[in-house]
Amino acid sequence: MHERESYQQELEALRFDNSFTRLLPGDSGEGKQPRQVYGACYSRVAPTKVSQPSLIIHASDLASRLGLSDELCRSDAFSQLFSGNQLLPGMDPHAICYGGHQFGNWAGQLGDGRAINLGELINTNDERWMLQLKGAGLTPYSRSADGLAVLRSSVREFLCSEAMHHLGVPTTRALSLILTGEMVMRDMFYDGRAALEPGAIVCRTAPSFTRFGSLQIFASRDDTTTLKQLLDHTIIHDFPHLGEPCQQVYLEWFNEVCQSTAELVVHWMRVGFVHGVMNTDNMSLLGLTIDYGPYGWLEAFDLSWTPNTTDREFKRYSYGQQPAIAGWNLARLAESILPLIGDIEPLQEALNTYSQNYKTLWQNMMVEKLGLKSFQAETDHKLLEELQHMLTLTETDMTIFYRKLANTNAEVNLENINNNKLIEPLLDAYYQSEDIAYDLQQQMADWLRSYIQRLQQDGVNNTERKENMNRINPKYVLRNYLSQVAIDQAEAGDYNEIHRLHELLKHPYDEQPEFDSYAAKRPDWARNRAGCSMLSCSS
C-alpha cells in the first residue's frame, strides 16, 4: 500500500458524530453571501480551497488525543484536510450563528465570519472535539470581510492557546498551523496602509465553541423556541451531569457557568494574561479562553493596561477590569435565558454568588502565589493590598517578580538584615532597578518584612515553599515581543523560532536554564514597537 493511501485510510477511520448540525435547526439559505440568518443555529458552508497548503507546526500531544499520528500530521493528506482543501465523508462543515455585545454595545448578528467547523470528532475515549478552521474563507457571517487569516495572527493564536493549556489555564486548543500559499490584504493599523501578508489557517479544537452570544442572538429576536433548543442541546451534550433540561436545571447550569467563568478569570489574573477583547461573543459557555486576538501578558504591572489599541482610550478590557467585565457579561447571559426562567431573582442570586466566589478564589490564588498555606483575613487583606500598591510604584515585571519572590529567605533574622540585602533577590524584576528611590526601597523592605513574618507564622521551610510557589508562578510566558520575533522570522520563511517557543512553553514552570534568555524582561526595543506592546483587532 502506498504511503498516501495509508494516511488516507487513517483519516477515514476517524469517527464523527455531528450532533450540532444533526439535532439543531440550520439555515435554509444557500451560498456564502452575507445575510441575516433567522431561526437557525448554523449555516452549512464549505471552506475555500487554497493553492499550496503546507504545515508549519502541529501539537503532537493533542494530535495523539484525537487519534492522529505524528507521521500523519506531517503528510500532505493532513495539510490538505486541515487547510480545507479536502473533507472526510463524516464531516459536516458549517459556520455558527451568534450575536454579542462588543465594547458594551449590542452588535446584533455576528457569527463565524472566518471560522468553519468541520465536524465533531469522537476519539477512542468517547470525548467530543469540534474541529474548526480559522481563516477558512467566506461564510454568511463574514459581513464585509474576506473570511481569511494572516500568518502573524495565526502564529499568535497557535502559540498562545497551546501556551495557556500548558500553564493550566482552561482554553481551546490548537492542532495545527498551516500556510495557505495565498497572500491576504490587511490594514493592520486601520490607517489606510494596507499590505499583502502570507495567509494561514489554524485548526483549533474544543468540546464546543458555543458562546454567551450564541444564546443572546435568539433572545434578542424573541426566538424562545430556538433559544430553548440550543440551551437544551448545550446541557445535554456539554453538561450531561445536570440531568434532563428543565427550569431548575437551567438555573443549575447558569450557576455552573458563573463558577467556571470565575475560575477562568482567576487563572488569567494568576499568570498576568489580558484577553484584550472580552466581548460577549468571545466568552465560552464552557469556561474556556477563546478567540486569541489582541491579547498580552502583563510585563510592567499595571491594573489599567490593555493590549488592545481599540481599547486604548477607555480601557474597558484592561487587566484589572477583567473580573468585573466577566460579571457584566454573565449578567447579559442571564438576561438572555430569563425568558426560559421567568424569574429574575435566582439569576441575580447566581450573579451575586459569582462576585463572592471570584473574591474567594482570587484570595486563595494570591496566597498560593505567595507560598502561604491559606488565606487569613486578619493579616492577608492588608498584605495583599500593600503588595498590589507596591507593584505599581515602579515598573515591575509581574512574572519575574513572583518567580524571584520564591527565593526569599523566610528563615532570616529580620533584625540582622538591612533593607538592601532584603530586596536584593527581587531586583531583576524591576526595569529601572538602579534608580529605585530610597523611600520606595523602604516601602519594599517594609512589605517584605511583613511577608516574611507571615511566612514564619506558617512554618513552611524555604525549599518546600519555593517548590510550591514555582508550581503556580510560571517562569516563562508568551510575551508579545517573543511572538513578534517568531512572526518576523516566519514571514521570512524561517519557522524554527515557532517550534522553539512551542517546545519551551510546554514546560512554563520548569527552570529550563538553556532558555533563560526567554524569561528576561522585555527589551527596550520592544517597548513601543508594533506587535510587541499593543495590538489591533486586525487579523
Q: Could you report the per-residue pLDDT of 197-239, keeping only the tens digit for each?
A: 999 999 999 999 999 999 999 999 999 999 999 999 999 999 9
Residues 427, 328: one domain? no
Is residue 106 assigned to a domain?
yes
Helix (H, G, I), strand (E, B) or coil at 189: coil
Residue 29 has pLDDT above 70, yes or no: yes
Asked whether residue 538 is assigned to any structural domain, the reply reads no
Q: Is the pLDDT of residue 274 over 80?
A: yes
What number is the average pLDDT over the span 106-134?
Answer: 98
Question: Does 240 reside within a domain?
Answer: yes
Residues 199 and 227 in one domain: no
Q: Give yes or no: residues 27 and 120 share one domain.
A: yes
* Residues 41 and 165 occupy one common structural domain: yes
User: Do 217 and 279 have their domain in common?
Assistant: yes
Which has the minimum average pLDDT: 64-68, 192-196, 252-256, 347-351?
192-196
Per-residue pLDDT, 485: 97
Query: How much is the pLDDT for 5?
Result: 76
pLDDT given at position 2: 66
- Note whether 392 and 282 are same-domain residues: no
Same domain, 320 and 269: yes
Is residue 523 domain-resident? Answer: no
Q: Residue 302, CB half-sphere, CA atoms under 13 Å: how many?
A: 14
Residue 115 φ then ψ, to 5°? -125, 135
Residues 329 and 348 in one domain: yes
Does pLDDT of 316 surpass 90? Answer: yes
Distance CA 101, CA 94 (A): 23
Q: Domains in the chain: how many in total?
A: 3
pTM over 0.95: yes
Same domain for 409 and 348?
Answer: no
Query: Considering the domain boundaries, does residue 13 fall inside one?
Result: yes
Q: Which of 180, 209, 238 is the last residue of a domain?
A: 209
Catalytic residue numbers read 281
For the chain, count helices (H), then strands (E).
18, 12
pLDDT over threshold 50, residue 539: no
Whether 292 and 404 map to the same domain: the answer is no
The mean pLDDT value for 355-382 works out to 97
Domain boundary among 152, 184, 209: 209
Q: Across all residues in the chain, what is the average pLDDT?
A: 95
Domain that holds residue 384: 377-459
Residue 72 belongs to some domain of the structure: yes
Among 459, 483, 507, the domain boundary falls at 459
Strand partners, 284: 211
Q: Which three cell numbers stand for residue 381?
A: 487583606
Is residue 474 included in any domain, yes or no?
no
Query: 186, 317 in Cβ contact below 8 A?
Result: no
Same domain, 51 and 164: yes
Kindly state whether residues 217 and 323 are assigned to the same domain.
yes
